[in-house]
Amino acid sequence: MATTTRKTVRAAAAQIAPDIDSADGTLARVLETIGQAARQGVELIVFPETFVPYYPYFSFVQPPARQGADHLLLMQRAPTVPGPLTDAVAGAARQAGMVVVLGVNERDHGSLYNTQVLFDADGRLLLKRRKITPTYHERMVWGQGDASGLKAVDTRVGRVGALACWEHYNPLARYALMADHEEIHCAQFPGSLVGPIFAEQMGVTIRHHALESGCFVVNATGWLHEAQIRRLMPDESLQGALRGGCHSAIVSPEGKYLAEPLTEGEGLVIADLDLSLIDKRKRMMDSVGHYARPELLSLAIRRDAASTTRALEPADAAPAPAANDLPQVTEAA
């Protein structure tokens, strides 16, 4: 495990709208935004939760009986990881010399997952992790993840970890990344959802994690244009459920905003991270070091990937029945 020796990192949180008609269209927006950020000297960029092809907003405003067609369409448009989409993003990351954190709806045969992918500045895919527990309406869309990707990874900009949305309300999941000594935490939320209270709660959540972990937090939320909202929900009485909830922001280990949070419209929130602030914070309070009491409180993590099958070793197989245990057959005369 390496600790970065860099002094500053220019980071960006991208608040942009997807193309709800085309996965390729959304990918084009991602690549365009990486190029735009590169021209501003950005070294780390974070995109919103399941941005490609788009967050399943339909599942929040439609009853289950009406979701089938939209769910199937999302499945048809969802990328595999790895695959052509990740190859394209890897190429953009390599060309820009930028660490990229992207949220995707990952298709794995007949299932979809809320997946976070992290590319290093040389284009290598360093991390693929699935949201542990989809939230509320999301359970109709995504399967459950596991803890195999619940870790921080060394990148060109430092040690980076990631969580999606209400995983930040799971203190043990956050502690797993804290214990893995993340220096920059990448948070992703859907945006354009629930209303202003969602943005207010988000601000509290990411600032608390920055303080508790002693790390920087780069948080990205998505955006929907009014035309997209009306298309997703023609009923005006329900359109408010697809507004608000945007709070793209960058927070220091001292819990301070390093740039004005973006709550309306599209854009990039950009700030320079002074990594010396990590030591300044942890000198006083290191939650997984001198401030911890592992003999009293500790975390157990099962890091093996979940699987529906398991190969049995010979020692695990049931013993063959002994000869005298076999059923007796008696022939009639």
User: What is the set of active-site residues?
Assistant: 49, 131, 165
Largest Cα–Cα distance of the chain, in whole Å? 95
Q: Quote the CA–CA distance of 17 and 52 in Å, as a whole number.
A: 10
Q: Sort 85 into a burial class: Cβ within 10 Å, 0-12 / 13-18 / 19+.
A: buried
Give the residue from 274, 260, 277 showing the smallest Cα distance to 13: 260
Q: Quote the CA–CA distance of 78 and 13 in Å, as a whole number.
A: 23
Q: Quote the CA–CA distance of 181 and 214 in Å, as a whole number.
A: 9
Interaxial angle between packed helices 171-179 and 196-213, expressed in degrees from 0 to 180 and rounded to the nearest 10: 40
Q: Give the length of the chain.
A: 333
Q: Quote the CA–CA distance of 28 and 200 in Å, as a whole number.
A: 31
Secondary structure class of 77 (helix, strand, coil): helix
Put residue 309 in one of left, alpha, beta given phi > 0 → left and psi -120 to 50 → alpha: beta
The pairs formed by 61-70 with CB atoms below 8 angstroms and a separation of 24 or more are 61/232, 61/233, 61/238, 61/241, 61/242, 64/140, 67/140
Question: Which amino acid is it at 329?
Answer: V
**E strand map for the chain:** 8-15, 44-46, 99-108, 111-119, 125-130, 153-155, 158-164, 184-189, 216-221, 249-251, 267-274
User: What Rg value do the Cα atoms of the chain yield, rounded?
Assistant: 23
For the sheet containing 184-189, what is the strand order?
153-155, 158-164, 184-189, 216-221, 249-251
Give the residue from 138, 183, 144 showing the smallest Cα distance to 6: 183
